[in-house]
Chain A
Amino acid sequence: MYAFEYHRPTTLAGALADLENADAKPLAGGQTLLPTMKQRLASPSALVELSGVPELSGIARDGDAVVIGAMTRHIDVAQSPVVAGAIPALAALAGGIGDPQVRNRGTLGGSLANNDPAADYPGAALALGATIVTDRRRIAAEDYFTGLFETALEPGELITKVSFPIPQKAAYVKFPSPASRYALVGVFVAKTADGVRVAVTGSGESGVFRVDSFETALSANFSPSALDGLSVPADGLNSDLHADADYRAHLIGVLAKRAVAAAG
């Protein structure tokens, strides 16, 4: 790890001021940032620890949405009665991230800012039509995920919270990598008043994506059999040592059916 300055602001304004330095980076739970810095793939000149900023925490129901602060840990989402009552699929997703030690430190904001193509939360955010709220604007999930580890965030822009609209039904099913528990393939299916949304993580060469053909079929008939005969082309899917693109394409179909069945 290269040397850095350390800041621990106690207000959002203080954090933003500390982040004005172009080479400064926010530190959430460190579950991605610290390993990256150890490997010298990142070398911020300063780290701005967010854990002391009260504006970034908390889980609350707000009308037809659940609003979750950026610094909320995976364990807190997994154990939240508010989330379990409104969007049980989201609580289950958080409870399946990594392992208990990772869930005890990793955060919603850190996961979405990082936009790892194998991460779970991007699937939920895109399928549920979440809004990513930052210190300066509101970004629809559609516009937020812009590529592999790429997001619409500007330098120094902080995610403050995320608003997840409550669906009628939803489920997330992932095929976890046996080593890391990251998604080899993960499919999030949400049935909303405006139709069904299907988001796939773990697979796309440019990160999380929606599957129009599945959505159309499921909007007409929300049952696993509606997906019979439909498939996702292997073009544009990742091939790596864990799974090739054809296998991922196959898993997307299988897991989508399982997710529909699980959503009930």
Chain B
Amino acid sequence: MVHVSMTVNGRNVSAEIDPRTLLVQFLRDTLRLTGTHVGCDTSQCGACTVHVDGAAIKSCTTLAISCNGSTVTTIEGLAKAGKLHPMQQAFQDNHGLQCGFCTPGMIMASVDMVNRCGPDLDEATIRHELEGNICRCTGYHNIVRSVAQGAREMGAAATAQAAE
């Protein structure tokens, strides 16, 4: 067993774990944060996407112990004070989900995309940047619309905050 501690959604957590424990198992089974999904378990689908130290990664392909000392954000950590994150709201507004299984990963990947590529995203960029996420339901059109709106609103929120 090894000792792991990290900050997850602003909370300090620690546990004794088997070194084999994947980050997604630690999040779901130990911390009971079941918003992060396992679609494929083979690094293909992106349903397990979370942020580690600000970067989107596949938590089925990362050891929990590798994240010792890191800051992790999951889908549960996006909403603030009962208000959905702009990217979550955009998926709701644009019907960017059907069964919802891929959605937590899509949203975490999309927030990372905006952080790296800025709030003005054209369709080609959004589709290219979502290559690590698979959706079996929507056909992607509404996901692309959702990401474009979420990105704009993240940009507007950042501008408003800077003005304050």
Beta-carbon contact of A105 and B57 below 8 Å: yes
- Binary interface encoding of chain B residues 42-77 relative to chain A, with 1 for a CB under 8 A from any of its CBs, else 0: 111010010000011110011101101000000000
B155 within 8 Å of A by Cβ?
no
B39 within 8 Å of A by Cβ?
no
Beta-carbon contact of A47 and B19 below 8 Å: yes
Q: Which among A30, A35, A100 has the highest number of chain B CB atoms within 10 Å?
A: A100
Beta-carbon contact of A181 and B131 below 8 Å: yes
Q: A3-B18, A47-B19, A101-B58 are in contact. Are A31 and B43 (CB under 8 A)?
A: yes
Q: A27-B66, A30-B66, A34-B61 are in contact. Are A101 and B20 (CB under 8 A)?
A: no
| Contacting residues, chain B, for A98 (C-beta < 8 A) | 131-132
| Contacting residues, chain A, for B62 (C-beta < 8 A) | 30, 34, 105
B153 within 8 Å of A by Cβ?
no
Beta-carbon contact of A101 and B57 below 8 Å: yes
Beta-carbon contact of B43 and A102 below 8 Å: yes
Number of interface residues of A (CB under 8 A): 26
Beta-carbon contact of A101 and B44 below 8 Å: no
A180 to B42, CA, bound (A): 11
4 A-B pairs with least C-beta separation: A99-B132, A6-B19, A99-B131, A104-B55
> Of B55, B61, B129, which contacts A30 at CB under 8 A?
B61
List 19 A–B pairs whose Cβ atoms lie within 8 Å, in order of A's numbering: A1-B20, A6-B19, A27-B66, A30-B63, A34-B61, A34-B63, A38-B42, A47-B19, A49-B66, A98-B131, A100-B113, A100-B131, A101-B49, A101-B58, A101-B109, A104-B112, A105-B58, A179-B44, A181-B131
A5 to B56, CA, bound (A): 27
The smallest C-beta distance from B59 to any residue of chain A, in angstroms, reads 9
| Contacting residues, chain A, for B56 (C-beta < 8 A) | 100-101, 104
A4 within 8 Å of B by Cβ?
yes
Q: How large is the interface on B (under 10, 10 to 19, 20 to 34, 35 or more residues)?
A: 20 to 34
> Of B18, B66, B68, B129, which contacts A100 at CB under 8 A?
B129
| Contacting residues, chain A, for B124 (C-beta < 8 A) | none
The smallest C-beta distance from A231 to any residue of chain B, in angstroms, reads 31
Beta-carbon contact of A101 and B19 below 8 Å: no
Beta-carbon contact of B41 and A99 below 8 Å: no
Interface members, chain A 200-224 (any B CB < 8 Å): none
| Contacting residues, chain B, for A105 (C-beta < 8 A) | 57-58, 61-62
Beta-carbon contact of A51 and B131 below 8 Å: no
* Closest residue of A by beta carbon distance from B59: A101
* Closest residue of B by beta carbon distance from A2: B20
A75 to B116, CA, bound (A): 10
Q: A30-B63, A75-B55 are in contact. Are A100 and B20 (CB under 8 A)?
A: no
B2 within 8 Å of A by Cβ?
yes
* Closest residue of B by beta carbon distance from A37: B20
* Closest residue of A by beta carbon distance from B116: A100
A1 to B62, CA, bound (A): 13
| Contacting residues, chain A, for B58 (C-beta < 8 A) | 101-102, 105
- Binary interface encoding of chain B residues 126-156 relative to chain A, with 1 for a CB under 8 A from any of its CBs, else 0: 0001011100000000000000000000000
**20 other A-B residue contacts (CB within 8 Å) besides A100-B112, A179-B44:** A1-B20, A5-B19, A6-B19, A6-B65, A8-B65, A8-B68, A30-B63, A34-B22, A47-B19, A47-B63, A49-B66, A51-B66, A99-B131, A100-B113, A100-B129, A100-B131, A101-B56, A101-B58, A102-B132, A105-B57
| Contacting residues, chain B, for A38 (C-beta < 8 A) | 41-42
